Amino acid sequence: MATAPKQKARRRGAAAKPAADRGAQVQSLVRALTILNRLAEADDGASLTDIAQQVGVPVSTAHRLLTTLQQERYVRFDGERALWSIGVQVFVVGNSFVRTRNLVQIARPHMRQLMLESGETVNLAVEDKGEAIYLAQIECRQMMRALATPGARVPLHCSGVGKALLAAMPESQRSAILHKHGLPRVSARTLTTPAALREDLTRAAERGYAVDDEEHAVGLRCAAAVIRDEVGEAIAAVSLSGPAARISDDRVAVLGDLVRRTAETITAEYGGRRSFGTAA
């Protein structure tokens, strides 16, 4: 019967670990994660000395952290070259994230925030069979607003999301799509010549967002930017759209930067890698 108080005392003692010890444990975790981040950027691996310098710790500390990570297979050591690199367990963990990530679920909170900041409707779309298909929409609170039902399709060459995706495509893929679908006139402002479209896509790639200037529907303007995956390929586009009466020439640039930053945020949360388009 006398042992119970002692057990409780031990448990209380464990819970009351000094703050300095807890801080040291957290610091070790941060250092270990920093090592993993540095190794992820080193395609050919890194030496113990280089890792210690990059992380800002003594060589002995770096070695202790590396050997601990090695035991759990997060890093591996090449004895012949004396270099450390990322281990297989990092792939296992990352692959789990890839399997379970949901683009719409990840993008929706950022789309809602974009709608609140801009006051305009926000759309998410992907390329499918040479067209853009809408996956989700966050409607703005204005009486006049653009509507795009999820599942609706629009041409790539004259829509904001479509032009953003085209600007980010490899030339061969873009040419194949345009050759198949052509450049039909949808409105009086639709770009219907390859030269005009190429010039527009080049500008879109340079600034990081595409603009639909009443090219798909009279009186409607749109700015769009792409979301990228882990290898830097464009997998979707997010856009802002609204009546030209509200989206003036000056406001297009402001909204374009806003949608570009949102696309970059979604890209990062999706596990993607930022890159610029390939239009030339």
pLDDT in tens, 117-136: 999 999 999 999 899 999 99
**How distant, in Å, are the alpha carbons of 34, 75, 190 from that of 157?**
43, 46, 8
Q: Which residues of 144-170 are buried (b: 16+ CB within 10 A; e: fewer)?
A: ebbebeeeebbbbbbbbbbbbbbbbbe
pLDDT in tens, 32-45: 999 998 998 888 89
Give the pLDDT of residue 93.
79
pTM value?
0.68
Give the pLDDT of residue 20.
54
The one-letter amino acid at 222: C
Q: In the chain, which stretches have pLDDT less than 70?
A: 1-25, 95-100, 143-147, 275-280
Instruction: Report the mean per-residue pLDDT for the chain.
Output: 87
Contact 204, 210 (CB under 8 A): yes
- What gap in Å lies between CA 122 and CA 168, rounded to an integer? 20
The one-letter amino acid at 106: I
Structure-token pair, residue 122: 């926000």
Give the pLDDT of residue 155.
95
- CATH, domain range 19-96: 1.10.10.10
Q: Would you kindly state where each structural domain of the chain is located, as residue ranges? A: 19-96, 101-270
Give the pLDDT of residue 274.
74
Give the pLDDT of residue 235.
93
Phi/psi at 241 (nearest 5 deg)?
-140, 150
Give the pLDDT of residue 11.
44
pLDDT in tens, 14-35: 445 555 555 656 888 999 999 9
Give the pLDDT of residue 149.
74
- What gap in Å lies between CA 275 and CA 100, rounded to an integer? 24
- What gap in Å lies between CA 241 and CA 145, rounded to an integer? 8
Structure-token pair, residue 8: 């409780």
Q: How many CB atoms lie within 10 A of CB 44?
A: 8
Q: Which residues of 174-199 are buried (b: 16+ CB within 10 A; e: fewer)?
A: beebbeeeebeebeeebbeeeeebbe
**Fold annotation for 101-270:** Beta-Lactamase (3.30.450)
Q: Do β-strands 75-78 and 83-86 pair in parallel, antiparallel, or remain unpaired?
A: antiparallel
- What gap in Å lies between CA 267 and CA 270, rounded to an integer? 5
